[in-house]
Structure 1
Amino acid sequence: MGQGTSSCSNEICKHTAEGHSIVISKKHEDFTSFLPDECLAKVFGSLGSHDRNSCSLVCKRWRAVDSESRYRLVLLAPCEMSQSLPALLSRFSSVSVLSLKCSRKLLSINDFAFSHIPVLLVSLKKLKLKGCIDISDDGLQAFSLHRPPFLSKLSFASCGFGVRGLNSLITNCPSLQHLTLKRLRKLDAHITTLKTLIVCRSSGNWDKVLQSLQASITSVSEIQMENVQMGDAGLIAISSSCPYLQVLQLSRTTDCTDDGLSAVANSCKNLRKVHIDAWSRFGGRTIGDEGLLTIANHCSRLQELVLMGVHLSVSSLTVLASNCRELERLAICNADSVGDPEMALIAEKFSALKKLCIKNCPISEPGIEAIGSGCPNLVKLKVKRCRGISQESIKKLKMQRSWLVVSIDAGPIIDHRWISSPQPKARLIRTVHNLKASKSLPRARSRPKTGFQSDSSIRPTQLFWPNEQIPSGPNFIFRLSSEPGRSSAHLPCGTIRMRARVESGAVTHGAAI
């Protein structure tokens, strides 16, 4: 009884450098205090955005480590944040990738706050602005005068500045290599270090812009022009100022023809990727077989070719196969001149081809069979909106090339059983809404007066003809009327093909395909 009981101590004693003793309870001990800041930063780096934001509020040390280890910052500014932006960027001084997304309807970031970004983020490498309509040319000029040394990539979309600010940026940013412009006004500047130029839906005459580059040789290796006003003059300027060009994408450029594309092919012989979406105004000239022949003759390193709406011939495909032996990816879309003979040529000549996409071309079963027996290195085939494709040819191809990845979206695929066998009592009818009833057909009367309200709630409707006037044929299209007073089916917006079955003179709509 006189002996004292011993118990485990729940307290530990730590000595400071001054010789003082600090008693810490084990129940409240912070084990992360023994972790170096570098290890704690690694842990934060593996967390999601929400969890990491929560961790930064735990203590001052965690907040400091989180601030110093953030290298990417995305700011969504639906309201005014010019006053808070300097303090926010001062906290995350190590950020190298900054994205500012503002509301185009509200004041978000002004010139003064934007111009101080290079001072607060000295390691900035990539900057993306979207919807910053309150940043003007003066703000861009003040930003560029700080000459950010590491800024290499700029992306602007739906902003309010124009020519003068962009000129200042390109002149004063020594490391700038990539520039992306979307929905902006034209650019007029001398570009010397730029490597990538992407212009999308930006107004102005881009022929003059590109002609301003002809005075000097640039290091641009990739140019993408989409929905812009540009013609052969711009392509000729590209051919003379961008000899190192490797990627060229032209999508719905207004006045580009074979002459401009031939000029690019004659000068830029290092082209690896070419994407062309041919388009002309009022039936004028566009890019076609002649331009493709020039590319085939001069660009032997071509690896990827995408052609949309480009008229092709067997001769141009033959030259392409013989000269561009490294071609691995080929896509042909909306080309009425590409049929089964062209598919047979592709299967026979393009031995290095790995990926092939055919969209909206008049090919049929012989063309698919040719691909199945040719193209030894083909790993992926995509066929879309080619109505001549049958179910049998698809099954045969999959059995013949089991390792081949086949993606088929052929629209209303023909089933040859309807053609080879006698017409049964029940026949398939494809219906398309928003089209008036043909005058050559008898008017149908509807009972009861119910229709299709949506894709998820479809109610059956019966339409009746006299027995001797029932339309026949597996591909017959019954056109529903949408005029008042006529029988109609209320379908949702967009073209929706429905299945109908003809039995004893009645057409009963089924489920949506």
Structure 2
Amino acid sequence: MKGHDLINSYLPDELIIEIFRHMHSKSSRDACALVCKRWLALERNSRRTLRIGASGSPDSFVKLLARRFVNVKNLYVDERLSVSHPVQLGRRRGGSQSTLSSLKLPYMIERGESDDSELESNCFSDAGLIALGEAFTKLKKLSLIWCSNVTSMGLQSFAGKCRSLRSLDLQGCYVGDQGLAAVGECCKELQDLNLRFCEGLTDKGLVELAIGCGKSLKVLGIAACAKITDISLEAVGSHCRSLETLSLDSEFIHNEGVLAVAEGCRLLKVLKLLCINVTDEALEAVGTCCLSLEVLALYSFQKFTDRSLSAIGKGCKKLKNLILSDCYFLSDKGLEAIATGCSELIHLEVNGCHNIGTLGLASVGKSCLRLTELALLYCQRIGDNALLEIGRGCKFLQALHLVDCSSIGDDAICGIANGCRNLKKLHIRRCYEIGNKGIVAVGENCKSLKDLSLRFCDRVGDDALIAIGQGCSLNHLNVSGCHQIGDAGIIAIARGCPELSYLDVSVLQQNLGDMAMAEIGEGCPSLKDIVLSHCRQITDVGLAHLVKKCTMLETCHMVYCPGITTAGVATVVSTCANIKKVLVEKSKVSERTRRRAGSVISYICVDLSIPH
């Protein structure tokens, strides 16, 4: 009824807050908060998470946030973002001078030159961290990303105030042992700790933390901490009996440290190792002791052999996710042991393990029938028969990634298409034996396919995309560098995939032109991102047809397209209301366009254009 506020009269605060909690879009919450003062206050009370920049005036800014968002439990502070201190925009009629619009939340630093001394003085430091501790005493999660001016002094003060903290991310912070020891002493509920690139830490700090809050710690990440050695891991093994996830990237960790964790942390579920001095002995202990292991990732090991995988296969029957990257001494025998012993495997990635070939992967197809995702990168010895076996056995496969697999061809892809009809994602890059035949089979059989990427596959042409357009409704398509694809293939996608939101047709220099762009505009109204770089036949005319109908477009990359001029760039920024990023040569941006949309225009770092 006109003149009556029925919503505010009848809806209690609790119900409105519950509505806010179910809104996952920040823009939606912000829009609802502008309805009235009551909704603004309720939205602020319901806000549990804040993401802010790390520069500016940390003390006053953090205190202002604390007054407005009193129930925040999760706080992310990122040195890569800049924060603008609130600017009063004037008194609202009937309201106070302090309005929602006066609070400018973080934005990315605009391009331009800055004075180094000014940047140094504005970086987030101990003062900001102390203010955080005083303002947000109920905090459960704190993430400080690359806040290099934060030291032990700030962390000690913060830990003393926020004793209910459960998650702490100190990536790139130069904190010392005293700060970490204070966290162990004060934060007895801490469960998740990330110490990646914390170069100021030594064994002393981590040992004291393990003693202080080891009973609650479940997740620990360490990388590039040169002064953390096996002594720390021995303390973790002794005191952190509930540890479930350990991620280690260190050349200073040896068998003793990993052995201590394996023997002491028997509830371990996730283990990720990049430790060049760890050998089979440590992995054999993991296979013997960590029977609940579900995720194992091994990177760049040159001292592991098939003994390690045999031990994992015998003991870790619950293993579901295995990543093997640049492990040169692993062979088919080791992968066969995993396949035979770990039949619950659902994700497998083999990257650059040059001694693993067709027989090893074929054993996975025979034994791991629940496999849903397979990634093969730089696997020159794996041939068609391996993927044929995967197609026969792994009926639930949903994602396949192939990169630089020179022995895999059309027969393998046909086998996958015929056997794995639930396939939703297919990414292929530089596999030169794969052509139209395999991709046509995918279009004919894999009706659930949503994400297709065929990058620099020289034998794939229009016939393949015509079959895809007729059989699948894609959301994501990348055919960058597939020189045989032209207008006919892209037009088939435009007519068959109305829900397409991402399209990369870069480096299709000869056969793709304005006709395809016009069809994409007509057929794909949901398109948000398009990459047109290095397409010589696309002009302002095709671009105008595209943006006229694709009203949801957010990003457009169009560098080195000689047919696109200053007028075409102006058309994009003036037509697309939602545009967020335009990548183009600087010479194609007029002064008027720069004034109108300078914040969304990006330029290539190096001008590679050929001089006249």
Q: Give the TM-score normalised by structure 2.
A: 0.57
Q: How does 1:464-483 map to 2 (within 5 A)?
A: none
Q: Is the 8 A contact 1:317 1:346 kept in 2?
A: yes
Q: How does 1:326-345 map to 2 (within 5 A)?
A: 326-345=422-441
Q: Is the 8 A contact 1:390 1:413 kept in 2?
A: no
- Rate the CA distance shift 1:80–1:291 in 2: closer, same or farther, 3 A: same
Match in the other structure for 1:266: 366
Distance 1:211 1:404 in 2: 44
Distance 1:456 1:269 in 2: 53
Match in the other structure for 1:172: 264
Q: Please report how far the alpha carbon of residue 128 of structure 1 lies from its aligned counterpart in structure 2 after TM superposition.
A: 0.7
Q: Please report how far the alpha carbon of residue 312 of structure 1 lies from its aligned counterpart in structure 2 after TM superposition.
A: 3.8
Q: How does 1:204-283 map to 2 (within 5 A)?
A: 204-229=303-328, 230-280=330-380
Distance 2:463 2:314 in 1: 52
1:290 aligns with 2:367: no
Distance 2:178 2:460 in 1: 62
Q: Give the TM-score normalised by structure 1.
A: 0.67
Larger mean CA deviation between 173-182 and 205-214 belongs to 205-214
- Match of residue 219, structure 2, among 103, 111, 126: 126
Match in the other structure for 1:137: 230
Match in the other structure for 1:316: 412
Q: Is the 8 A contact 1:384 1:411 kept in 2?
A: yes
Q: Is the 8 A contact 1:214 1:240 kept in 2?
A: yes
Match in the other structure for 2:253: 161
Flag structure 2 segments of 5+ consecutive residues without an equivalent: 1-44, 49-65, 78-123, 140-157, 514-535, 538-584, 589-603
Match in the other structure for 1:432: none
Secondary structure, counterpart of 2:177 in structure 1? coil
Counterpart code for 2:302: S
Q: How does 1:16-415 map to 2 (within 5 A)?
A: 43-45=71-73, 49=77, 53-57=130-134, 66-75=161-170, 81-102=176-197, 108-121=200-213, 122-146=215-239, 148-186=240-278, 187-188=282-283, 189-191=285-287, 192-229=291-328, 230-280=330-380, 286-310=381-405, 311-361=407-457, 362-375=459-472, 377-391=473-487, 393-395=489-491, 397-415=493-511
Q: Is the 8 A contact 1:389 1:414 kept in 2?
A: no
Distance 1:396 1:253 in 2: 38
Distance 1:102 1:379 in 2: 37
Q: Is the 8 A contact 1:277 1:307 kept in 2?
A: yes
Larger radius of gyration: 1
Distance 1:64 1:333 in 2: 48
Distance 1:349 1:78 in 2: 51
- Rate the CA distance shift 1:46–1:346 in 2: closer, same or farther, 3 A: closer
Counterpart code for 2:259: N
- Rate the CA distance shift 1:102–1:346 in 2: closer, same or farther, 3 A: closer
Q: Is the 8 A contact 2:342 2:368 kept in 1?
A: yes
Secondary structure, counterpart of 1:141 in structure 2? helix
Q: Is the 8 A contact 1:391 1:414 kept in 2?
A: no
Secondary structure, counterpart of 2:181 in structure 1? helix
Distance 1:60 1:290 in 2: 60
Distance 1:326 1:415 in 2: 32
Q: Is the 8 A contact 1:231 1:257 kept in 2?
A: yes
1:55-78 CA distance string (max 9 Å, x none): 424699997894123222133577
Counterpart code for 2:369: K
Match in the other structure for 2:3: none
Secondary structure, counterpart of 1:320 in structure 2? helix
1:20-57 CA distance string (max 9 Å, x none): xxxxxxxxxxxxxxx9xx99996242555476741424
1:198-245 CA distance string (max 9 Å, x none): 122233234232123344353111001112222212212212332211
- Rate the CA distance shift 1:315–1:403 in 2: closer, same or farther, 3 A: same
Higher strand share: 1
Distance 2:233 2:361 in 1: 35
- Rate the CA distance shift 1:48–1:193 in 2: closer, same or farther, 3 A: closer
Distance 2:499 2:253 in 1: 52
Q: Please report how far the alpha carbon of residue 409 of structure 1 lies from its aligned counterpart in structure 2 after TM superposition.
A: 3.2
Q: State the identity %.
A: 23
Distance 1:59 1:325 in 2: 51
Q: Select the structure with the greater relative contact order (CA < 8 A; seq sep ≥ 6).
A: 1
Secondary structure, counterpart of 1:213 in structure 2? helix
Q: Is the 8 A contact 1:117 1:143 kept in 2?
A: no
Match in the other structure for 2:152: none
CA RMSD of aligned residues (A): 3.6
Q: Is the 8 A contact 1:56 1:66 kept in 2?
A: yes
Q: Please report how far the alpha carbon of residue 163 of structure 1 lies from its aligned counterpart in structure 2 after TM superposition.
A: 1.3
- Rate the CA distance shift 1:68–1:84 in 2: closer, same or farther, 3 A: closer
Q: Please report how far the alpha carbon of residue 141 of structure 1 lies from its aligned counterpart in structure 2 after TM superposition.
A: 1.7
Q: Please report how far the alpha carbon of residue 391 of structure 1 lies from its aligned counterpart in structure 2 after TM superposition.
A: 4.2
1:432-475 CA distance string (max 9 Å, x none): xxxxxxxxxxxxxxxxxxxxxxx8699xxxxxxxxxxxxxxxxx
Q: How does 1:487-506 map to 2 (within 5 A)?
A: 498=609
- Rate the CA distance shift 1:342–1:101 in 2: closer, same or farther, 3 A: closer
Distance 1:72 1:273 in 2: 30
| Matched residue count | 387
Distance 1:337 1:359 in 2: 13
Q: Please report how far the alpha carbon of residue 166 of structure 1 lies from its aligned counterpart in structure 2 after TM superposition.
A: 0.3
Distance 2:468 2:608 in 1: 30
